[in-house]
Chains A and B, each alone.
Chain A
């Protein structure tokens, strides 16, 4: 990343934490104790770093990559939360039925189901946009609520645990659970996230499709006229891929962390990942770093709630400030391409 990007990222995060501290003090909390708990929960020990921070970074990196991919093509996928849940539902359902398979096969089956479910969930907004011109901002957003209601339904209906008491599913088969990295609770899904980041970097930087994607994102009309690119097709592909990755993240969470489906499985990963993608300026390798940072924040939030009595949801203030700083910086220089892309896209529509 160029130096300016580091400055913006540093400012955004620093300011976010400052606003959080100020807010906590104003609301009457012990801000010092809260921030100390935040730090300890995220980086206090090797165990905290691997088993709290990195575990939460995995879904953030994956979803962040998906969102970055969409943004690159100029589409706003604000529905990653819903796609994540769609993936988690499919993963749980398949995961309950793969007990007889060897682990590699079982995990592949579960992940494929999650990937597919995420893609199917976003296929609705894709279809609505292609066929009817409904803005994906609104449709993806609304589908988040449908997905949450769907989770609530299946964990009290078809997928409820055998005794029928708790609103959650039975645990998935042992063969579908990811192995841990020794000495931690960190599952090997981390390598999938890192691998995806590498693949996306290669796609963006080195392939025809990546070039088309960026061209459409920079200006769909220009891409069509001068590059003879079918921008509708590229846009649809980007949105589908974006949803598929978010769905996969749901599958990874079920196979590596929760082993079961329940409500509030995600503490808002789908929204936090928007901040991850934008802070990383849509660069796949930077998404890894930003995902780590926000993973630390999520991990610290849990500790903050336990040890300092501050509700974990308070850290979304940091996410909000980060988004706003990044947006202002982008508007000032328009180098991020995002704002310009969105504007050009709307002009073309």
Chain B
């Protein structure tokens, strides 16, 4: 491979790797928001999923960790759903509360489990699973087909979610609930149940995203390690216009923005690293501004 080709392939692979947890969380949030629920708690659910994954993996291997992560995300989503759907609490504030609570809980559990020194965890992680044949495609081969299992899950989830949302009766009921809860209810849809289930699906995805972050990307847990990725996932949903295909592209865009950092380092360009910390957030704001009048959220999004 020539130098340029190698560089590009490395950049694309890093972009996909960084995008995976964002894509997973955003895919789940797409389902949740299509049912009319905006869940700011997915940041906390990712964080809880990350810690549960670390604990599960050190106890019984990486796949137990993945399951533990999904379980933790779903459990927190259950709390969120109970308040928002069950008690009709405000979604924004409840989501903020769930995230705050997750920060506190994970801090407590983490300190107890790993002591004050923390960090130096030696976790069993998920290794890359190259797909024979496809991996050899130039440029996109290593990016898409030489990744750990969660990346494949994230990519497969997109068409599945699309099909469920737009080609099944359950998906129709879910979207109807998001567009007009009152009318959906009049048509016989159990809207509370639909919203609760959609929230739980979102929580499970967020937990999986957190697990992916720990087991397929960073290899360790740290306090507040999600660092706003859950919120970025929410922005990705807006950017992807509440559609799985758009969400996939938007997540990749974010992965690329972060992967630029690695590219610049490789090239030896001296740019303050904080600039790259800001880039995804700044990019989101720009992108949101650029979408004026061209996107329409589910009409009943955020309404109790």
Instruction: List residues of chain A with CB under 8 Å of any chain B CB.
Output: 20, 23-24, 27-29, 76, 78, 124, 128, 131-134, 137-139, 141-146, 148-150, 152-153, 156-157, 271, 274-275, 278, 309-311, 313-321, 323-324, 326-328, 330-332, 338-339, 342-343, 346
CB <8 Å contact, B103 and A313 = yes
A234→B111 CA distance, assembly (Å): 46
CB <8 Å contact, B101 and A314 = no
CB <8 Å contact, B238 and A138 = yes
Chain B's nearest CB lies how many Å from the CB of A337? 12
Q: With A311-B111, A331-B89, A346-B303 as given contacts, are A323 and B285 in contact (CB-CB < 8 Å)?
A: no
> Interface on chain A toward B: helix, strand, loop, or mixed SS?
helix
B108 surroundings in chain A (CB, below 8 A):
23-24, 27, 29, 310-311, 313-314, 317
Q: Which residue of B lies closest to A323 (CB)?
A: B97
Q: Which residue of B lies closest to A317 (CB)?
A: B104
CB <8 Å contact, B234 and A320 = no
Binary contact track B63-101/A, C-beta < 8 Å → 1, others 0: 000000000000000000001000111101110111011
A318→B103 CA distance, assembly (Å): 11
Q: With A146-B278, A327-B89 as given contacts, are A157 and B272 in contact (CB-CB < 8 Å)?
A: yes
B10 contacts chain A at the CB level, 8 A cutoff? no
Q: Which residues in window 267-302 of B have CB below 8 A to A?
A: 272, 274-275, 277-278, 281-282, 284-285, 288-289, 291-293, 302
Q: With A143-B281, A145-B227 as given contacts, are A315 and B292 in contact (CB-CB < 8 Å)?
A: no
Q: With A138-B235, A145-B227 as given contacts, are A132 and B288 in contact (CB-CB < 8 Å)?
A: yes
Residue among B88, B92, B109, B110 having the largest count of chain A Cβ atoms under 10 Å = B92
A272→B245 CA distance, assembly (Å): 37
CB <8 Å contact, A139 and B89 = no
Chain A's nearest CB lies how many Å from the CB of B83? 6
Binary contact track B192-220/A, C-beta < 8 Å → 1, others 0: 00000000000000000000000000000
Chain B's nearest CB lies how many Å from the CB of A154? 9
A-B contact pairs, 6 of them (CB 8 A): A137-B92, A145-B227, A313-B108, A317-B100, A320-B98, A327-B83
A24 surroundings in chain B (CB, below 8 A):
108
B101 surroundings in chain A (CB, below 8 A):
316-317, 319-321
Closest 10 CB pairs of A and B: A320-B101, A323-B97, A313-B107, A317-B104, A316-B104, A153-B274, A149-B277, A327-B89, A320-B100, A331-B88
| Contacts A132-B292, A309-B116, A328-B83 known; 13 new A-B pairs at CB < 8 A | A20-B104, A27-B112, A28-B112, A128-B289, A132-B289, A142-B284, A144-B228, A153-B274, A157-B272, A321-B97, A323-B100, A324-B94, A331-B87
CB <8 Å contact, B281 and A146 = yes
A256→B263 CA distance, assembly (Å): 43
